[in-house]
Amino acid sequence: FNLYPHMTALRNVTLALVKVLRKPRAEAERLGMAALDRVGLANKARSYPGELSGGQQQRVAIARALALEPKVMLFDEPTSALDPELVGSVLNVMRELKRGGMTMLVVSHEMRFARDAADRVIFMDHGLVVEEGPPQRIFSTPSEARTRAFIAELGR
C-alpha cells in the first residue's frame, strides 16, 4: 500500500496535499480527515500503519488518493494482498465510491464484485482482450469460448 510506516494515517493522506499541491497544513488536515471519514477510518487518523489491519491500510491508501480529488481512480488488484475476512471492507469502500459517481478502472479477480459493481467488464487472457461488454452479458451469456470456460470454472 506504500504507506510511510513512521507517519500516522492522517500524515500519509496529507503528505502530497502539503508537499505537492502546497496546501496549508490546516486545510490539508481538513481534507485528509474528510477522506479518512469517507473510507470509514476517521477514528484511525492518529494510528500508524503497523497498528492497522491490511484492509485498513488499503483504505488509508484509497483515502490518500481521494484527498487529491481525482477524476478517475485506478485499482490494480486492490484486495489481492488481504486476508479474506478483510476483503469486504475494501470492496464496500469501492462500492461507495461508485455510488458517489467516481469513475474507476479496476483490475480484479473478485468476480462477484465485478459483476455487481461494473458498468463494463473486459475479460483478458495473457494480456489480450478476449471479450468486453455489460457485466450481465459477459457473466451470463459470454460469446467467446475462452470467456465461457473461465465463467464455467467460477461455478465450480
Considering the domain boundaries, does residue 129 fall inside one?
no
Considering the domain boundaries, does residue 137 fall inside one?
no
Per residue in 99-146, pLDDT tens?
999 999 999 989 999 999 999 999 999 999 999 999 999 999 999 999
How far, in Å, CA of 125 to CA of 150, rounded? 10
The CATH number assigned to the domain holding 23 equals: 3.40.50.300
Quick one: average pLDDT of 3-13?
A: 99
3-state secondary structure of 132: strand
HSE-up (13 A, CA, CB side) for residue 140: 6
**86: confidence class by pLDDT, cuts 50, 70, 90:** confident
Average model confidence (pLDDT) across the chain: 95
Question: In the prediction, which pLDDT does 1 show?
Answer: 85
Alpha helices in 42-83, H assignment, sequence order? 54-67
Per residue in 54-80, pLDDT tens?
999 999 999 999 999 999 999 999 998
Considering the domain boundaries, does residue 147 fall inside one?
no
Considering the domain boundaries, does residue 125 fall inside one?
no
Residue 122 backbone phi and psi in degrees, to 5: -120, 120
How far, in Å, CA of 3 to CA of 48, rounded? 9
Question: In the prediction, which pLDDT does 84 show?
Answer: 86
Structure pTM? 0.85
Considering the domain boundaries, does residue 150 fall inside one?
no
Question: In the prediction, which pLDDT does 76 show?
Answer: 94
Question: In the prediction, which pLDDT does 85 show?
Answer: 85
Considering the domain boundaries, does residue 153 fall inside one?
no
Residues spanned by the domain of 37: 9-118
Considering the domain boundaries, does residue 123 fall inside one?
no
How far, in Å, CA of 70 to CA of 24, rounded? 19
Count: domains in the chain: 1
Considering the domain boundaries, does residue 15 fall inside one?
yes
